[in-house]
Structure 1
Amino acid sequence: MKPATDAVKQRIQSIDILRGAIMLIMAIDHTRDFLHKGGQLYDATNMGTTYPALFFTRWITHFCAPTFVFLSGVSVYLAGTRRTKSELSSFLLKRGLWLIVVEVLLITFAFSLNPLYNAFALQVIWAIGVSMIILGLLIWLPVRVIGLIGLIIIVGHDYITTLKLTPNTTEDTLVKILFTARGFLIPLNANHFIFDLYAIIPWTGVMLLGYTFGTLYKREYNPASRKRFLIYCGLAVFALFLVLRFMNGYGDPAPWAVQKNGIFTFMSFLNVSKYPPSLMYCCLTLSVGMIVLALTENATGKLAAFFKVYGSVPFFYYVLHFYLIRTITIAVFFAQGFKTSQIITPNMPFLFDPPGMGFSLGVTYLWWLGIILTLYFPCRWFSNYKKTHKQWWLSYL
């Protein structure tokens, strides 16, 4: 008879399906950033300049980061069933530091293609890395206490966005890094700066909540009860989103308003704030994630298997897709007739991204489809490799 820990090591297909789906959706946004004409210059959620197809292309990707961070918390709990508290804490501290290094060196370079690193981008991998370090320090607390801390952060952190602090003071900088960052620039010297998109604490709250939900996947937990709980919880949280959004008060710094027609008013209603992730944003995205987890628990078929390939190797896919997209942008740069003198755009941190380069939104979607299909086979290979090999470093990829 196999020990109980062996059963826990088996991958949970609903988690892999959901994670795979959001990884593919995420690539839409990154493809649009670099291959859609004007993708880096215009805010796709600005009601004054956007249009429905562009808005929903951006909006659908709002589900990616919170779902991924939430599932990272679930995965941490499952990893803890195979480790002592001390081992899990040590692993989280080391993996968190490793993710920060990856963000600063590998992902920043993929974004900018600038070997001088004039700009360091702190995005979702940074937020996950720091959140893992914090969770590694909190891991000694009871699971319910960790979940309560996460819930308090998600519900309460929007209050901090209302605080008025003196700009450019130490207190203002710390509050932005920890709670309110939205494209916050931190100068290092005359030629180098940090571009902080992801405030730490709000995303940590999402991971802590996910860690608590990991208890639903304990070996002895009844699958029918888990499915029922996820559906009811998801519906309740979605209802909370609707109530809060209709009230147009606390829970999001960007209230909705009646627009020039019905579709734009609907878009305004859905246009919740990601930077930092507001309470309404978390309610909307996490509620849908919970329901999808419940509905895909016993999913079968080719589409489910397709998503599982990507969901079983998310970090590998994440790094690879950035480098593939940026390799394509270099080829497109020269194919569209741009000159080497245009590799650097004044006052822009990204190389090979001059004004006017790129394609229509429809063609950009075709590029996205080609990118994810190209990555299917290396992801399938690495997924099989992880299943058949047990080297220690695989837990970091």
Structure 2
Amino acid sequence: MLEGSIHRARIESIDLLRGIIIVIMALDHSHDFFGSLTSQPTDLATTTPALFFTRWITHFCAPVFFLLTGTGASLTLKRMSKSALARFLVSRGLWLIFLDVVVMRFALQFNLDYHITILVVLWALGWAMIVLAALIWLPIWLIAAFGVLCIAGHNALDNIDAAQFGAWAPLWKLLHELGVVFSIHGHTVVVAYVLIPWVAVTAMGYVLGTVYQWPAHVRRPVLFWLGVGLMLGFVVLRYVDIYGDPGPWSVQKTPLFTLMSFINCNKYPPSLLFLMMTLGPALLLLWAFDAGVPRWLRPAHTIGRVPLFFYVVHFYWIHLLAVAACWICYGTVANMFQSPDLAHFPFTAPPGWNFGLPVVYLVWAFVVISLYPLCAWYAGVRRRHDWWWLSYL
């Protein structure tokens, strides 16, 4: 979500892809608040195709965010020195970590008891930017080697159990193993976005930024063939099923469910195949949009100019809508402010809480449409002013 400290000379294709992705992300979060809190959309034994693909399409969001964060950092070098960029990345990273554990935690749970704290995307994005502040001093080929090694090789670490590190177990969980970091006196911290693969994706995004320094007739074929190569590589590696994801695919009761099994890759942490599956199409979209922004996608382009603003505001808006729905349906809202444990996250759902996918999609559409004027206004403010604090939201 790095947008640069100066917001001129933006690349429209990047803003457009970022906007499309963040609009799709809002669908996932609408389901988080209006769907069943106990459903497992990617569990083929219990899911439906509609629920599965509603969840699956949102898998593209996080990889694109991290990739374009690195790309944005690289492009910012056109407007500031490397030392200035490093300072900005550190300060911006610390700000995102604060947003995640304070501002966004409240947006998710509407309480300050800190019984449950889940470290999610902004937390990892913040650390990725801080690490990138150090990586940018390396030669670009070495940054690329670091990114490829971590992305391609981190699944070799899947069988390492954090418990074997003793007192250092929490550190390994932050780096690579999803789960509880610590739980003390009723206060539990859980890491959902581990650092090794996400830092690597951000590093590769920084490398991708160098491609945007090339002329269009050179850049576009590179984007196209990189995207095609990742997608073909995904199909081949997934088919042989030897390495790249901890969950094997299998033939299911119908061809559609077999396809679902084939593309049902691990996000927590993101496996090699998960990243190939999502970043390949993302690069093809960058290739397609490089020719210009279609008029009908201009609203997504506007939202993509202010992604962090949309991210923060839309969580509060969806949660407030859920509170209103709870009041209308149940006559009480007390449980909407209670999340005592992981089984009741992000709130304690009343009995029968599940409005179904049609309502989830209606809520999603309402949230995006209602927030668009606000995003357009804020994008205008950013375009007209160079106030330093605008780069932090």
**Superimposed CA distance per residue, residues 104-145 of structure 1 (whole angstroms, 9 cap, x where no aligned partner):** 001111111122222222111111100000011222111221
Matches within 5 A, 1:68-147: 68-147=65-144
Q: Indicate if the aligned counterparts of 1:114 and 1:350 stay in contact, CA closer than 8 A.
A: no
Mapped partners of 1:255, 1:161: distance in 2: 14
Matches within 5 A, 1:174-189: 174-181=171-178, 184-189=179-184
The residue that corresponds to 2:3 in the other structure is: none
Which 10-residue stretch deviates more, 350-359 or 13-22?
350-359
Of all paired residues, the percent bearing the same amino acid is: 39
The residue that corresponds to 2:21 in the other structure is: 22
Mapped partners of 1:177, 1:143: distance in 2: 26
Q: How far is 1:51 from its partner?
A: 0.6
Is the aligned partner of 1:375 residue 2:355?
Answer: no
Is the aligned partner of 1:62 residue 2:62?
Answer: no
In structure 2, relative to structure 1, the CA distance for the partners of 1:51 and 1:139 (3 Å cut) is: same
Q: How far is 1:164 from its partner?
A: 4.1
Report the 3-state secondary structure (helix = DSSP H, G, I; strand = E; otherwise coil) of the residue aligned with 1:186. strand
In structure 2, relative to structure 1, the CA distance for the partners of 1:135 and 1:260 (3 Å cut) is: same
| 1:160 alignment partner AA | L
Report the 3-state secondary structure (helix = DSSP H, G, I; strand = E; otherwise coil) of the residue aligned with 1:235. helix
Structure 2's unaligned 5+ residue stretches are 1-5
The residue that corresponds to 1:282 in the other structure is: 275
The residue that corresponds to 1:203 in the other structure is: 198
Aligned to 2:261, which of 260, 268, 271? Answer: 268
Report the 3-state secondary structure (helix = DSSP H, G, I; strand = E; otherwise coil) of the residue aligned with 1:180. coil
The residue that corresponds to 1:242 in the other structure is: 235
**Superimposed CA distance per residue, residues 188-224 of structure 1 (whole angstroms, 9 cap, x where no aligned partner):** 4212111210001110000000000001112xx2112
Structure 2-normalised TM-score? 0.94
Q: How far is 1:165 from its partner?
A: 5.0
Structure 1's unaligned 5+ residue stretches are 1-6
Mapped partners of 2:7, 2:118: distance in 1: 36
Mapped partners of 2:7, 2:139: distance in 1: 20
Mapped partners of 2:333, 2:198: distance in 1: 40
CA RMSD of aligned residues (A): 1.9
Is the aligned partner of 1:190 residue 2:180?
Answer: no
In structure 2, relative to structure 1, the CA distance for the partners of 1:153 and 1:82 (3 Å cut) is: same
The residue that corresponds to 1:353 in the other structure is: 349
Is the aligned partner of 1:217 residue 2:212?
Answer: yes
Q: Indicate if the aligned counterparts of 1:123 and 1:196 stay in contact, CA closer than 8 A.
A: yes
Is the aligned partner of 1:321 residue 2:314?
Answer: yes
In structure 2, relative to structure 1, the CA distance for the partners of 1:138 and 1:345 (3 Å cut) is: closer
Q: How far is 1:339 from its partner?
A: 2.9
Mapped partners of 2:101, 2:127: distance in 1: 13
Report the 3-state secondary structure (helix = DSSP H, G, I; strand = E; otherwise coil) of the residue aligned with 2:181. strand
Report the 3-state secondary structure (helix = DSSP H, G, I; strand = E; otherwise coil) of the residue aligned with 1:194. strand
The residue that corresponds to 2:286 in the other structure is: 293
Q: Indicate if the aligned counterparts of 1:333 and 1:353 stay in contact, CA closer than 8 A.
A: no
Structure 1-normalised TM-score? 0.93
Q: How far is 1:352 from its partner?
A: 5.5
Mapped partners of 1:323, 1:137: distance in 2: 34
| 1:201 alignment partner AA | I
The residue that corresponds to 2:358 in the other structure is: 362
The residue that corresponds to 1:3 in the other structure is: none
The residue that corresponds to 1:4 in the other structure is: none
**Superimposed CA distance per residue, residues 37-73 of structure 1 (whole angstroms, 9 cap, x where no aligned partner):** x1x2111000111010000000000001001110111
In structure 2, relative to structure 1, the CA distance for the partners of 1:8 and 1:232 (3 Å cut) is: farther
The residue that corresponds to 1:44 in the other structure is: 41
In structure 2, relative to structure 1, the CA distance for the partners of 1:113 and 1:166 (3 Å cut) is: same
Report the 3-state secondary structure (helix = DSSP H, G, I; strand = E; otherwise coil) of the residue aligned with 2:118. strand
